Amino acid sequence: MPNAPDVLFRTLADPTRRALFERLCREGEKTVGALTARAGVSQPVVSKHLGILKQAGLVRDRHEGRQTHYSAQLGALAPLVDWTSEMAGFWQNRFNDLEDLLKRMDQ
Amino acid sequence: MPNAPDVLFRTLADPTRRALFERLCREGEKTVGALTARAGVSQPVVSKHLGILKQAGLVRDRHEGRQTHYSAQLGALAPLVDWTSEMAGFWQNRFNDLEDLLKRMDQ
DNA sequence: ACAGCGCATAGCCTATCGGCTATGCATCAA
DNA sequence: TTGATGCATAGCCGATAGGCTATGCGCTGT
């Protein structure tokens, strides 16, 4: 059972998939057909990628007749932000430690 | 020529590689041997991953005798933060647009 | 009822990737 | 000088991932 950042990194690593997510962020809800039209890949591929994005919690789908509308779930990016902040935090702590060390050496 | 977030996502997508980067963030500079000791994979694999991390600008190396010390370059995470902010921004704009629409409809 | 449309699923093929072992190359110690 | 150590490189291999076509299935409209 991989943790959240792992799933997000793996899901967003593929350019085609990330492009789909970006379009949903920029342009809002879209049908599979609308997404396929400008995706540069076939419709089954788009459906597959959308399924993976959905599994990662990055999009939700809404069925309306024979169409499926997808939209971005921006909250799902939170673990990514957390991870980045955490890494930056460690960096900051090490910097503080260094400062402390220098201070102690100065005395 | 892939753009910056693409390289970062692809580089950080692999768990082993991301674990190496995390250790360098948490614990600071480490030699290849020290990293290999707890990486769970062979030394050549560690070297390979460090090379990929270096290419992505996420780490730098410092040669000292026959050892190579690697350390995290946290600034390289900036494009990731930018990308996330951009996506969040689009979300916010769409939300504002919706508010405007509702306001106009209300009149 | 039936033909067409929108999307999902199945199955296949190829390329890439992440792991390994073997080896090379420099540096340090004896 | 010679053997050992630390890391990088080369070459191989199986698994996975992302693309395709073919097909299934439910909804729509005639």
Structural domain boundaries of chain A? Answer: 4-106
Average pLDDT on A24-34 reads 96
Selected for mutation to probe chain A from B80, B85, B101 (highest A CB count within 10 Å) is B80
pLDDT greater at residue B4 or residue B41: B41
In the structure, what pLDDT confidence band is assigned to residue A102 with cuts at 50, 70 and 90?
Answer: low
pLDDT > 90: percent of chain B: 74
**Sheet containing A30-31, strands listed edge to edge, beginning at the edge strand earlier in sequence:** A30-31, A67-72, A59-64
- Of the candidates B63, B19, B53, B51, the residue with the CA atom closest to the CA atom of residue B38: B19
In the structure, what pLDDT confidence band is assigned to residue A74 with cuts at 50, 70 and 90?
Answer: confident
The DSSP letter of residue B58 is: S
The CATH architecture that domain B4-106 belongs to is: Orthogonal Bundle (1.10)
Ranking B22-26, B53-57, B73-77 by mean pLDDT, the lowest is B73-77
- Residue of chain A with shortest Cα separation from B26: A90
pLDDT greater at residue B88 or residue B40: B40
Selected for mutation to probe chain B from A21, A91, A98 (highest B CB count within 10 Å) is A91
Evaluate if residue B12 carries a pLDDT over 60: yes
Question: Distance from residue A38 (CA) to nucleotide D19 (C1'), in Å?
Answer: 16
Evaluate if residue A104 carries a pLDDT over 80: no
In the structure, what pLDDT confidence band is assigned to residue A88 with cuts at 50, 70 and 90?
Answer: confident
CB neighbours of residue B38 within 10 Å: 10
Which helix (H) or strand (E) segment holds residue A63: the answer is strand A59-64
Those residues whose beta carbons lie under 7 A from strand C are A 31-33, 36, 43-44, 46-48, 50-51, 61, 66-68; B 13-14, 16-17, 41-42, 44-45, 48-49, 52, 65-66
pLDDT greater at residue B86 or residue B91: B86
d(CA B77, CA A88): 9
In this prediction the ipTM stands at 0.87
- Of the candidates B29, B33, B37, B28, the residue with the CA atom closest to the CA atom of residue B62: B29
